[in-house]
Amino acid sequence: MSEPQEKRYKKGEVIYRQNQYEMYLYDILYGSVALYQNYGTKDEILIKEYPGDGYFGELELVEARPRTTTAVALEPTLVKRYDSDGFAALFQEKPAMVVSIMQQMSARIRELQRDYNNACRVVAESMDAESAGSEKSGQLQTERKKLSDYYHAYLSLTNSDPIDR
């Protein structure tokens, strides 16, 4: 088993980069981290912020896939990082931590479900407004544009093909 390593990052320092193939789960001991797609470009998108304690990087570790985001320290940050052997050992040595990681993943799934429901609402209201010639159509068009941008960012983030849905 590999022992977890503590690493310190300065404000603005990159922890890992999108498309990088490194397999670690990160446990934030203090500080905060943001995950971005297309970091440092005009197409940069903030995906998620992790203030205080939290975990990130578990999906790529479990799936053994390249990073889909760039992680950046938002302030001086200390993390403990676990490789795949260290992560597997957590199941026996720190089951409460594994449960906490699973709870965080569950919360993310609920958040995605809310986003999906909102997207369905916007599409339905938009279609209704357009067919009724409503003035609300312009506002809904703006919301549809945001959803479209989010969807295209998601496809890029996951390296998915729309046909894979």
Q: What is the per-residue pLDDT for 69?
A: 92
Pair 23, 85: CB distance under 8 Å: no
Position 89: which residue type?
A
The superfamily CATH assigns to domain 5-93 is: Jelly Rolls (2.60.120.10)
Task: Domain ranges for the chain, please list them.
Answer: 5-93, 108-160
pLDDT tens digits along 2-14: 788 999 999 999 9
Pair 71, 15: CB distance under 8 Å: yes
Mean per-residue pLDDT, 114-123: 80
d(CA 32, CA 98): 20
Q: How confident is the model at residue 155 (pLDDT cuts 50, 70, 90)?
A: low
pLDDT tens digits along 35-91: 999 999 998 989 889 988 788 988 888 888 899 899 999 999 999 999 888 888 888
